[in-house]
Amino acid sequence: MQAPSARFGTDERLPLYARLRDQLASRIANGEWSPGDMIPSENRLSEEYGVAVATMRIALKQLVEEGLLERRRGTGTFVKQPAFRADLFRFFHVHDVEDMDGPVIPESRILSCQAIEAPADVREAFGEAAGARCLHLERVRLWSGEPMLFEEIFLRLPDFDGLEKLDTKAMGPLLYPVFLQEFGILITSATDELSFGTATSASARHLGLPPDSPVAVIHRMARNPVGRVIEFRRVHGRPERFRYRVTLGEPSA
């Protein structure tokens, strides 16, 4: 029998249970087991990987704690039904500067969607080699009919094969529910980096700004449940519409 470490294809410096955890999580991410599916028993998985049941139990326990699996007493272990985290949409909520009662989601308009050769920064984010291709979307976000954000969204291929054939007008203002419904891809975490820069010719045109105007810049890397970067996004926004607010600690009584 082939040694488990060779079959796992993961970093041999990690403990065996951690490599098992990564391998099982990859099988979930690749769609072998879908949300709601019952996975094989501990005994069956232990036999498949040639490891002790106690070791497999630790790996499965980690996946339960991380929210990928759930145990149902007397039934078995299941892939957990996904749930969206509200904080993933924080940059998509805006406040009317004259009415700060609550956030709303701005209107969205997809301008284009096509497969291209991935730019260098996108390849780096995805961990892909030169020549890799991705899906490229251009989108404008509007507030009261006025353009506020210009977005370039880069998606992995072949993960999103066929998205360009969907009716973009029917997608609504948020893409992540579409990713899950149409492609079974769940976004569970994201890193957003906010800075300021200069408008490109495309962002200046779509935001109605003079060439080389200052803009707020957001870079986003969004990941699936096993930490794989699924989306890379570059966003330019009209700087006068941006406000940064953070609350540290609990307010005093």
Q: State residue 175's pLDDT score.
A: 87
CATH code assigned at 22: 1.10.10.10
Q: What is the pLDDT of residue 154?
A: 98
In this structure, the answer to whether residues 66 and 96 fall within a common structural domain is: no
Q: Are the CB atoms for 140 and 149 separated by under 8 Å?
A: yes
User: From CA 222, how far away is CA 92, in angstroms rounded?
Assistant: 14
Residue-level pLDDT at 54:
94
Same domain assignment for residues 233 and 175: yes
Report the pLDDT value the prediction gives residue 101, as an integer from 0 to 100. Answer: 46
pLDDT in tens, 128-186: 999 999 999 999 988 778 898 999 999 999 999 999 899 887 777 788 888 887 888 88
* 247 falls within a domain: no
Domain hosting residue 226, numbered range: 86-241
Planar angle of CA 116, 194, 237, nearest 5 degrees? 70
The reply to whether 107 and 54 lie within a common domain is no
Residue 195 token pair: 């800075």
C-alpha span between 160 and 224 (Å, rounded): 14
Q: Which of 30, 58, 79 is the last residue of a domain?
A: 79
The answer to the question of residue 250 being in a domain is no
* pLDDT value of position 253: 38
Among 27, 55, 79, where does a domain finish?
79
Distances (CA, A) of 160 to 54, 92, 151, 215, 246: 38, 22, 18, 30, 35
- Ranges of residues in the chain with a pLDDT under 70 are 1-13, 82-105, 242-253
pLDDT of residue 51: 94
DSSP-assigned letters across all residues of 182-240 = HH-----EEEEEEEEEE--HHHHHHHT--TT-EEEEEEEEEE-TT--EEEEEEEEE-GG
pLDDT at 1: 39
